[in-house]
């Protein structure tokens, strides 16, 4: 039988696409430093600092070396310019032409008069011969005489040169240049070496830094593991032995991690004291409830007995007295049921062991649905069980009470003609096999704000605390406690038109269950399972 689907959600207009700024902010939040671990941040900061230091050292080294090499080149250029001037002015050296003795390979010489080239610029080759400058020799005309070395790009295969212009006695200007190729090659080689060493050093620093940071943060990880272990402990109910503490070696107050570890230990000590005080208070309250409920059974039985005796009296009883006695008897019956519920919860809280016997859930559901049909003929009751019986190990009376309370809850809180469907199936295999019981109805549903506390004691959807429906607020609490005692879980999913209570009970033998180990899960998803 399939429960009716929930009503279709209203159409919502599509939201506008995120802007570039929103996408950038989302990417920065997801992949930026905010999402990095502390270890990653430390390594990133270390590498950033090393990169900056290496960059500064490299730039300073390259600039200093280039300046030094250019200074040396300028000294050689001064000597070459002197040789050129002497070769032009000295009749003895005139036989050598522009390139006198001592000039080196790659030297460029030109003569200028009145802004015009007197001779074609020549370059000294490897073999000692001279050739014409095939690049851009006109740039030599821009060199002012007696102004020191200048850098000019002659183009072609020659590239950049350091050039110097000097006056000659015949009124011409002798321009001499030396190539900067060796300077550029040396500077480039140094930059490449520094870059390679920097990359290798950063890789080595990253590996060593990761190992050092991992070793340094090991105490912090132990502190975090302690906090995580405490966070996974069930501290909301029952007796809790909070014996977990940060190791003593991680509580040294001289270190930052030790201060955190000591603070966590102090906090755990206070929390443990508070939990012990809470448990002692709960124990006193449970003992009081159990004792009071037990003591109330006797006077309630006497009240019911005297009320029944007044009805059986042979003497005529005034009508108003008979009505009053009937009300006394009905309220005594109701109060007796409340006392029995409180006694049952008290016994489950104290960890009373269950009767362990095979229970045929199919027969339990058939009997419970039959009783619910007799108690609520105005509702439509449906049963969906497999042909083969499903048997679990537990207490028959308590499991019957679970189904009876769920059906009574559906009957009490839904209007007439509501369809209530009870189904039974088996899920899983082997030790994880579970019997799954669902009780669903198409009534108005449970208010979303009540769902988180629907299995709490005395939880009521009516804030006026009206007794019109006859509910005590303990039915679902008993369901949760009994199911937990059978090492199972109970959950609820509810939307208007589809409310589903799901009970899961292990099919195999029951493991031991601690007192107050109520395992309740609340689920407000709208994709509730259907039977």
Task: Tell which of 216, 246, 268 closes a domain.
Answer: 216
Mark whether 251 and 278 lie in a shared domain.
yes
- Residue 406: what pLDDT? 92
Residue 132 CB neighbours (<10 A): 10
Quote the longest CA-to-CA distance of the chain.
Answer: 167
Residues of the chain with pLDDT > 90: what percent?
Answer: 15
CA distance 489 to 508: 15
pLDDT at 329 exceeding the cut of 50: yes
**348 pLDDT higher than 90:** no
**Mean pLDDT for the stretch of residues 446-461:** 78
Q: Are 396 and 377 in contact (CB under 8 A)?
A: no
**Claim to verify: residue 192 and residue 262 sit in the same structural domain:** no
pLDDT digit string (tens) for 7-27?
A: 554 544 555 666 666 666 666
Residue 334 lies in a domain: yes
Query: What's the pTM?
Result: 0.48
φ, ψ dihedrals at 421, nearest 5° = -115, 130
Domain shared by 177 and 297, yes or no = no
pLDDT digits (tens, 9 = 90+) for 56-87: 999 999 999 999 999 999 999 888 888 888 88
pLDDT band at 484 (very low <50, low <70, confident <90, very high): confident
Q: Are 455 and 477 in contact (CB under 8 A)?
A: yes
Range of the domain at 446: 353-461+470-522
Say yes or no: 139 and 277 in one domain: no
* Domain-located, residue 527: no
Categorise residue 225: left if φ over 0, alpha if ψ from -120 to 50, beta otherwise. Answer: alpha
- Residue among 424, 417, 461, 419 at smallest CA distance from 441: 419
Is residue 27 in a domain? no
Q: Which tokens go with 400?
A: 């019957």
- Residue finishing a domain among 162, 190, 216: 216
Closest CA to 426 of 411, 436, 418, 417: 436
Element (H, E) at 518: none
Whole-angstrom CA distances from 398 to 341, 354, 356, 481, 489 are: 12, 9, 11, 10, 15
Neighbours of 279 (CB within 10 A): 15
Domain count, the chain: 3
Residue with tokens 């988180």: 452
Predicted local distance difference test score (pLDDT) of residue 64: 94
Residue in 98, 101, 173, 102 with CA at minimum distance from that of residue 133: 98
H helix or E strand, kind and range, residue 74: helix 38-89
- Lowest mean per-residue pLDDT among 91-105, 141-155, 310-324, 437-451: 91-105
Q: Are residues 113 and 195 in the same domain?
A: yes
Confidence of residue 2 (pLDDT cuts 50, 70, 90): very low
Q: Return the sign of the alpha-carbon dihedral for residues 35, 37, 43, 45.
A: positive
155 and 58 within one domain = yes
Q: Answer yes or no: do 61 and 84 share one domain.
A: yes
Q: Is residue 100 packed enough to be buried (19+ CB in 10 Å), middle (13-18) or exposed (0-12)?
A: buried
Q: Which residue has the higher pLDDT, 505 or 114?
A: 505
25 part of a folded domain? no
Same domain, 74 and 204: yes
Do 359 and 502 sit in the same domain of this protein? yes
Q: Using 50, 70 and 90 to split pLDDT, how confident is the model at 127?
A: low
Inform me whether the pLDDT recorded for 465 exceeds 50: no
pLDDT in tens, 223-252: 888 888 887 777 766 666 777 888 888 788
Are 354 and 394 contacting, i.e. CB atoms less than 8 angstroms apart?
yes
Please enumerate, as own/partner, the contacts of 84-88 that have beta carbons within 8 Å and a separation of 24 or more: 84/109, 84/166, 84/174, 84/176, 85/166, 85/168, 85/174, 88/168, 88/170, 88/172, 88/174
Q: What is the pLDDT of residue 334?
A: 75
Q: Quick check: 391 pLDDT over 50?
A: yes
What is the 3-class SS of 175-214, one letter each residue?
Answer: EEEEECHHHHHHHHHHHHHHHHHHHHHHHHHHHHHHHHHH
pLDDT at 466: 39
Task: Write down which residue in 325, 350, 375 finishes a domain.
Answer: 350
Does 504 lie in the same domain as 485? yes
Kindly give the interhelix angle for 181-216 and 218-231, rounded to the nearest 10 degrees. 40
Query: In this structure, are 331 and 387 located in the same domain?
Result: no
Task: For residues 34-58, give the mean pLDDT.
Answer: 85
Confidence of residue 356 (pLDDT cuts 50, 70, 90): confident
């Amino acid at each position: 039988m399939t429960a009716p689907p929930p009503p279709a959600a209203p159409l919502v207009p599509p939201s506008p696409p995120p802007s570039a700024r929103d996408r950038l902010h989302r990417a920065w939040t997801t992949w930026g430093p905010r999402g990095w671990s502390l270890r990653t941040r430390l390594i990133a900061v270390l590498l950033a600092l090393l990169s900056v230091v290496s960059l500064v050292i490299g730039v300073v080294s390259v600039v200093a070396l280039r300046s030094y090499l250019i200074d040396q080149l300028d000294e050689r250029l001064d000597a070459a310019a002197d040789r050129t001037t002497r070769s032009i002015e000295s009749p003895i050296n005139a036989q050598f032409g522009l390139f006198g003795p001592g000039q080196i390979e790659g030297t460029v010489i030109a003569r200028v008069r009145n802004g015009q080239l007197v001779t074609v610029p020549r370059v000294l080759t490897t073999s000692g011969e001279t050739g014409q400058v095939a690049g851009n020799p006109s740039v030599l005309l821009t060199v002012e005489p007696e102004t020191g070395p200048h850098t000019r790009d002659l183009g072609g295969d020659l590239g950049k040169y350091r050039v110097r212009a000097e006056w000659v006695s015949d009124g011409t200007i002798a321009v001499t240049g030396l190539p900067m190729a060796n300077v550029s090659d040396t500077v480039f080689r140094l930059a490449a070496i520094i870059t390679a060493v920097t990359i290798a050093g950063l890789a080595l620093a990253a590996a060593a830094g990761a190992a050092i940071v991992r070793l340094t943060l090991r105490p912090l990880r132990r502190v975090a593991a302690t906090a995580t272990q405490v966070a996974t402990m069930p501290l909301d109910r029952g007796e809790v032995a909070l014996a977990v503490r940060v190791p003593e070696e991680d509580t040294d107050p001289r270190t930052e991690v030790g201060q955190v570890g000591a603070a966590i230990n102090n906090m755990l000590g206070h929390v443990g004291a508070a939990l012990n005080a809470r448990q002692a208070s709960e124990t006193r309250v449970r003992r009081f409830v159990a004792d009071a409920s037990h003591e109330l059974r006797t006077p309630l039985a006497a009240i019911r007995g005297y009320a029944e005796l007044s009805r059986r009296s042979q003497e005529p009883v005034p009508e108003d007295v008979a009505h009053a006695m009937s009300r006394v008897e009905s309220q005594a019956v109701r109060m007796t049921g409340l006392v029995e519920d409180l006694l049952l919860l008290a016994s489950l809280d104290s960890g009373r062991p269950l009767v362990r016997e095979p229970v045929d859930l199919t027969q339990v559901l058939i009997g419970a649905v039959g009783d619910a049909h007799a108690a609520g003929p105005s509702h439509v009751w449906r049963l969906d069980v497999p042909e083969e019986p499903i048997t679990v190990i537990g207490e028959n009376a308590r499991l019957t009470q679970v189904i009876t309370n769920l059906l009574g809850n559906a009957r009490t809180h839904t209007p007439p003609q509501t369809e209530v469907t009870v189904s039974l199936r088996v899920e899983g295999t082997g030790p994880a096999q579970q019997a799954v019981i669902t009780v669903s109805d198409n009534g108005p549903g449970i208010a979303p704000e009540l769902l988180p506390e629907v299995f709490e004691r005395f939880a009521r959807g009516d804030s006026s605390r009206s007794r019109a429906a006859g509910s005590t607020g303990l039915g679902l609490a008993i369901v949760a406690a009994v199911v937990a005692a059978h090492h199972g879980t109970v959950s609820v999913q509810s939307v208007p038109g589809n409310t589903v209570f799901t009970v899961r009970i292990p099919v195999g033998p029951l493991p031991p269950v601690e007192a107050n180990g109520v395992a309740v899960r609340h689920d407000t998803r709208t994709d509730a399972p259907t039977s």
